[in-house]
Amino acid sequence: MSKLAIHGGDPVRTKPFPEWPRPTSELKDAIISTLENEGWGVGSKAISRFEERFADFHDAKYCISTSSGTTALWVALKAAGVKAGDEVIVPPYTFIATASAVLMANAVPIFVDIDENTFNIDPDLIEDAITEKTKVIMPVHIAGNPADMDRILSIGKKHNISIIEDAAQAHGAEWYGTKVGAHGIGGIFSFQTSKNMSAGEGGAIVSNDETFYDICFSYHNCGRTKEGAFYEHQFLGGNFRLNAMASSMLIPQIDTVQDDMILRDKNRSKLDAALGQIEGISINGAYDGTTRQANHIYLTRYNADHFNGISREMFYKAMQAEGVYTYMGYTPLYREKLFVTDGKEYPWLKDYDFGSMKMPVTERLADKEAVWLKQNHLLGNEKDTQDIIDAFDKVTSTMRNNPELFKD
């Protein structure tokens, strides 16, 4: 095995992985066509075309586009009836917006630990977190890997609690052959720069529930209703609409994302087969109902016990030096300074002590084991994928066989 790059050797690769987001002629043509021929905001046909096509793509009857995934979360929570002091069950291993949108709705995020095999909310722990204040359960399809929707929907039905899917990372992911998003009352998506479909910023809500859809429309559109006058406002909504340029960028991606998914599936399978043979590297699992993942993040777990106690952070440094950017990803949300709350600003949180929370699986994965690769690493050719495998092999073999090289 050749010398590691951090020790003066040649790196496995020096060129970057495929660019993301990816400008294409189709995107440019779509933007110009909208710019020259259609409205740029309210009433633009580009917006309605995108909503119709995205709803169809995600096996849903309805879609409302929004200015971001965060605003989509807030709108969906309000449309589900979340009011001040209500509780919303969420996982602690996700992007901050999952929890901050709950706070923005004057409600309380109730964190439930995750399943180490999938990084998703652990369905075995949800019922213990339910109280008389629980209004919504909001699973996150982390990394584009569907949560256990059958179990979660069953719990929701048993306790008469709405299910909202945070599918911000899960474009095209499937649960028993039906795309995620509309299995519960509704679900949200993000089109932020890193996402598998991107407009720089943007979001969407999908649903099969017409009443929920109508209320979402009002909250995202200044409190207007579909049948009301333009200057009639029935809800405390905001201007959370997506603009026509962003919509026009997303329409051609509904076609290209499907080819991208095929490529990600192919490269992910190669990585799983190879990295799964490395003792101490664990491949992320999926529930039986998962018929397709979106592969927004490629997740593995690093066990330092198999590498002479060498820290995960040293593993990252060695991999990055080889030209493959691995990193840790999320930290537990309840540790964020956001949750060191001011009682005057957040009076409904006065009886909740986020600082004393301990969730062992989330903390172990976040602090010691999680290894992330961004989705563009799965959009390369066979050589690109082989470079990832070679870098893992090179670094882990050296750690196992020559641990003295990693001493301070």
Q: Mind listing the pLDDT tens digit for each residue in 32-53?
A: 999 999 889 888 999 999 999 9
Euclidean distance between CA atoms 168 and 68, whole angstroms? 10
The sign of the dihedral angle between the CA atoms of 246, 247, 248, 250 is positive
Q: Which of 87-101, 333-347, 349-363 shows the lowest per-residue confidence on average (mean pLDDT)?
A: 333-347
Euclidean distance between CA atoms 52 and 346, whole angstroms? 38
Band of the pLDDT at 408, cuts 50, 70, 90? low
pLDDT at 45: 93
DSSP of 327-365? B-----GGGSGGGS--TTT-GGGTT--GGG---HHHHHI
Three-state secondary structure call for residue 74: helix
Residue pair 212/164 in contact by the 8 Å Cβ criterion: no
Mean pLDDT to the nearest integer, 229-233: 72
- pTM for this one? 0.96
Is residue 134 exposed (0-12), middle (13-18) or buried (19+ Cβ within 10 Å)? buried
The sign of the dihedral angle between the CA atoms of 32, 36, 40, 42 is negative
Q: What residues are paired with 290 via a beta bridge? A: 175
Mean pLDDT to the nearest integer, 261-283: 98
pLDDT at 1: 63
Residue 139 has pLDDT above 70, yes or no: yes
Mean pLDDT to the nearest integer, 133-145: 98
Euclidean distance between CA atoms 49 and 404, whole angstroms? 60
Please report, for residues 263, 287, 306, 313, 370, the alpha-carbon distance to residue 309 in angstroms, rounded to integers and kept in the order given.
35, 31, 7, 11, 16
Mean pLDDT to the nearest integer, 320-340: 94
Q: Which of 188, 206, 407 is nearest to 314 (CA)?
A: 407
DSSP of 266-296? HHHHHHHHHHTTSTTEEE----TTEEE---S
Distant-in-sequence, close-in-space partners of 69: CB < 8 Å, separation ≥ 6: 97, 168, 188, 189, 190, 191, 192, 202, 203
Band of the pLDDT at 257, cuts 50, 70, 90? very high
Domains belonging to the chain, first-starting first, are 25-253 (3.40.640.10), 257-406 (3.90.1150.10)
pLDDT at 182: 98
pLDDT at 329: 97
Strands 134-137 and 108-111 turn out to be unpaired
